[in-house]
Chain A
Amino acid sequence: MEDLKIVNGIVYDPLNGIDGERLDIHVSGGKIAERAKAQRVIDVKGMVVMPGGVDIHSHIAGPKINMGRRLRPENHRTAPVPKTDVTRAGVGGGLSSTFVTGYRYAAMGYTTVMEPAVPPLMARHAHEELNDIPMVDKGCYVLMGNNEYIISHIHELNKVENYVKWLLNAAKGYAIKAVNPCGSDNWKWGENVHGLGEKGVKFDATPKEMITTLSEVNKRLKLPHPLHLHTIDLGVPGNYETTLETLEMLKGKRAHLTHLQFNCYGGSSWKDLSSEAGGIAEKVNDSKITVDSGQVIFGDVTTMTADAPWQYRLYRLSGNKWVNNDVEVECGGGIVPYRYRKKNSVNATQWAIGLELLLMIEDPWRVYLSTDNPNGGSFTSYPYIIKLLMDKKFRKEELSTLHQNASSTSLPDIDREYTLGEIATITRGATAKSLGLKNKGHLGVGADADIAIYPLKEDIAKMFSKASYVIKDGDLVVGKGKIISEKYGKTFMLDFKEKVEPDPDVREFFKYYTVDIENYPVEMAYLPRYEAIKCG
């Protein structure tokens, strides 16, 4: 690892308050340094220097994405990626193979990616797959919103706290994820939950209790990232009321509402679906909640979520092939291929809502860029979204090609254009801050030397799709949008400072499992390269 000096670049580093200043960056020993005896000087005159991108929500590993790959062979056949001298072969498409996922993220200047939905029982496999994703640092969130132990001990906060701690440690996860809390568990009896106060068919817990319990536990454990919540009633027309209620309930608390676009629908049916992004954005502006957009991209996608009842509904809507899955006593899941169409009124409105959220939530530190890859679209569409955010004219042009319903949202009236500094915020600075990763998302002294350097181009989408240089942990890995050397990043896990032992009744609970409790936790051998982030 040689020391580097990056000179003459225009630096955007929102976490350190640097907004387009000409600065030199010194790299020594894989970290940003005050001053380094540079063995190599990279002149980046006229280029934009940003910290490496941090993606807060992208399904890149684990059982769902793998099942999706199995379900969609046609997705791979049409997108082969041959090997080069430094990279390995794989397939592209919306469900790219592990290696290709890493290369594509790196080529766009992203260096940290979080896998947001891992059932603890499948965590071992998720880690195996994460280990095979090159170029980026990664971590995973653990699904807990439908865990039957938590459901049955919902009123015993201490027990839940200890269990969550043990589970995070067992799965080597980084954050708590709740997907359709209580709804996916109710699906075991063929039902969903509608409204925050609805109890399950066979259990005495409501989504409201689940969300508040997990958010409280998250607070008590002082986890670096707040509760990562995929709320109930996702994708249902008229669901904005539930979303507003959820936001009200979480007022003053820390939480992250993910792919919020799918939760901002007005109307009573698919025919009169409308955008309620304005009201939601206002509510988010008034709270401490952070959100990511879940932008929809037109074209072929594979939807996959632990929200099993919603996936059944989507299958009924689309008539496409589907998978629905039940992960013992932990959660469920489903996969349905889907095509977002420009001339479809619902899809066009969804597209507009995603942008409305990004443009109407005023504070860029609380709204992040995401496509919920691969649900809304592939992560490779990020440059296109950035262009939409930065270029009002382009937004209008795109809007004119869509179904007229997209124009009846408030999007045509929004004049806001993101600056490069704000783009740097929503794609790296703010996401790293929300994740509690102190060494990521900025270029201050001591930070990991993850640096993305973009050519300043008229076409913003082209500028962000191929970074001129990417430096990962002090090594130059990308040159002119191409991978020039392969490097494997680390996996983030949590450090609870003390040994975590399960309660005796957790041992008792394991009689419902196909796995013995001794074999359940993921061994450290599955994390050959890791960094433990301290809680608190």
Chain B
Amino acid sequence: MLMGEGIKLRLQKEFNVPVDAPCIRPDLFKTLGNEKIKNLDLHVGNKVKGLKDLFEVEGEFSDEITIDGDLSNFKGIGHKMESGKITIRGTVGMHTGAEMSGGKIIIEGNASDWLGAELQGGMIRVKGNAGNLVGAGYRGSKVGMRGGMIIVEGGVGNEVGALMRRGTIAVGNAGDFTGCFATGGSILVWGDTGERTGAFMSRGTIVLYHEPKLLPTFKYGCAYNPVFLRMLLRLLSNWVDVDPQYITGNYKRYSGDITELGKGEILIWVG
């Protein structure tokens, strides 16, 4: 068994119809030879096609996958994966890394909505922007993200980390309703946030580095420098540039949402 060589997928042409591709996952590819990988089924619009009809496939028996091409119509890559690594050299579509419990996904372009939705473990890094509902819980679920880490260097849309219970999300800019309904976990926003940050949150931490427009249901407590945050920021500095002042500076602590349990917190950096 050849490990470490990696499997390369190169998209042959662009697709206008959605492609359902949950079969692209390293823990599955690890067990398959080249021929079997080529014959995996994908739903292209309302038709079932083999992987070979869409991609040039190189390599076999490896849990490292590299994909080249514009995958904006590809949904569910790395869905439920448990180990291994996917590197996407380009843009990727919805539900990437949804419900994954281990391994790593690196996206060099942009990602779409529902990135890492209901994530349970592992890591997702996006060098570009991501869409709405990053790490959120699917409609009807009681709990969203349960573990793992999502780092987006660019901006993200609305409802990031909705229903989050555990894990870490760090993003550039965020839209409205960041961390809404959260029952735990940490969300860090280096840039601007939209409105109603932390609405309905009962527990959990949201860390902001630009002064936000807070809901009136968050109550000011004190200004301090939390120990856990220093540790978390040092950990994050492995992957993103963290300003040393963020580690040493003080944070205003607001607790809320007091219409709910009120045990959540929003920390705002004051320098």
Q: Once the chains are docked, how many angstroms separate the CA of A102 from the CA of B264?
A: 47
Interface size on B, residues (CB 8 A): 4
Indicate if A499 sits at the interface (CB-CB under 8 A).
no
Indicate if B221 sits at the interface (CB-CB under 8 A).
no
Which residues of A64-105 are within 8 A (CB) of B? Answer: 71-75, 77
For A73, the closest partner residue in chain B by CB is: B140
Q: Once the chains are docked, how many angstroms separate the CA of A465 from the CA of B141?
A: 30
Closest beta carbon of chain A to B71's beta carbon, Å: 22
Which residues of A463-499 are within 8 A (CB) of B? Answer: none
Indicate if B138 sits at the interface (CB-CB under 8 A).
yes
Q: Once the chains are docked, how many angstroms separate the CA of A77 from the CA of B76?
A: 14
For A77, the closest partner residue in chain B by CB is: B138
Q: What is the 8 Å Cβ interface bit string for chain B, positions 134-147, against chain A (1 contact, 0 not)?
A: 00001111000000
Which residues of B111-141 are within 8 A (CB) of A? Answer: 138-141
Q: Once the chains are docked, how many angstroms separate the CA of A470 from the CA of B120?
A: 44
Q: Is the interface of A mostly helix, strand, loop or mixed?
A: helix
Interface size on A, residues (CB 8 A): 6
11 extra A-B contacts, CB within 8 A, seeds A71-B140, A77-B140: A72-B140, A73-B138, A73-B139, A73-B140, A74-B138, A74-B139, A74-B140, A74-B141, A75-B140, A77-B138, A77-B139
For A320, the closest partner residue in chain B by CB is: B142
- Contacts A/B (CB < 8 Å), 13 sampled: A71-B140, A72-B140, A73-B138, A73-B139, A73-B140, A74-B138, A74-B139, A74-B140, A74-B141, A75-B140, A77-B138, A77-B139, A77-B140
Q: Once the chains are docked, how many angstroms separate the CA of A71 from the CA of B141?
A: 11
CB contacts (< 8 Å) of B138 on chain A: these are 73-74, 77
Q: Once the chains are docked, how many angstroms separate the CA of A74 from the CA of B163?
A: 14
Closest beta carbon of chain B to A96's beta carbon, Å: 16
Q: Once the chains are docked, how many angstroms separate the CA of A374 from the CA of B141?
A: 19
Which residues of A38-87 are within 8 A (CB) of B? Answer: 71-75, 77
Closest beta carbon of chain A to B146's beta carbon, Å: 15
CB contacts (< 8 Å) of B139 on chain A: these are 73-74, 77
For B141, the closest partner residue in chain A by CB is: A74
Q: Once the chains are docked, how many angstroms separate the CA of A80 from the CA of B138?
A: 15
Q: Once the chains are docked, how many angstroms separate the CA of A73 from the CA of B141?
A: 8
CB contacts (< 8 Å) of B140 on chain A: these are 71-75, 77
Q: Once the chains are docked, how many angstroms separate the CA of A72 from the CA of B139?
A: 8
Q: Once the chains are docked, how many angstroms separate the CA of A75 from the CA of B140?
A: 8
Closest beta carbon of chain A to B162's beta carbon, Å: 14
CB contacts (< 8 Å) of A75 on chain B: these are 140
Q: Once the chains are docked, how many angstroms separate the CA of A72 from the CA of B142?
A: 11
CB contacts (< 8 Å) of A71 on chain B: these are 140
Q: What is the 8 Å Cβ interface bit string for chain A, positions 223-251, against chain B (1 contact, 0 not)?
A: 00000000000000000000000000000
Q: Once the chains are docked, how many angstroms separate the CA of A73 from the CA of B142?
A: 11
Q: Once the chains are docked, how many angstroms separate the CA of A107 from the CA of B138?
A: 31
Q: Once the chains are docked, how many angstroms separate the CA of A77 from the CA of B139?
A: 9
A-B residue pairs, 4 tightest by C-beta: A74-B140, A73-B140, A73-B139, A74-B141
For B46, the closest partner residue in chain A by CB is: A83
Q: Once the chains are docked, how many angstroms separate the CA of A442 from the CA of B204?
A: 62
CB contacts (< 8 Å) of A74 on chain B: these are 138-141
Closest beta carbon of chain B to A76's beta carbon, Å: 8
CB contacts (< 8 Å) of A73 on chain B: these are 138-140
Q: Once the chains are docked, how many angstroms separate the CA of A73 from the CA of B139?
A: 6
Closest beta carbon of chain B to A65's beta carbon, Å: 16
Q: Once the chains are docked, how many angstroms separate the CA of A72 from the CA of B140?
A: 6
Closest beta carbon of chain B to A72's beta carbon, Å: 6
Closest beta carbon of chain A to B195's beta carbon, Å: 25
Instruction: Give the residue among B138, B139, B140, B141 with the most A Cβ atoms within 10 A.
Output: B140
Q: Once the chains are docked, how many angstroms separate the CA of A75 from the CA of B141?
A: 9
Q: Once the chains are docked, how many angstroms separate the CA of A398 from the CA of B138?
A: 34
Q: Once the chains are docked, how many angstroms separate the CA of A74 from the CA of B144?
A: 12
For A83, the closest partner residue in chain B by CB is: B46
Q: Once the chains are docked, how many angstroms separate the CA of A72 from the CA of B141?
A: 9
For A70, the closest partner residue in chain B by CB is: B140
For B137, the closest partner residue in chain A by CB is: A74
CB contacts (< 8 Å) of B141 on chain A: these are 74
Closest beta carbon of chain B to A322's beta carbon, Å: 13
Closest beta carbon of chain A to B261's beta carbon, Å: 13
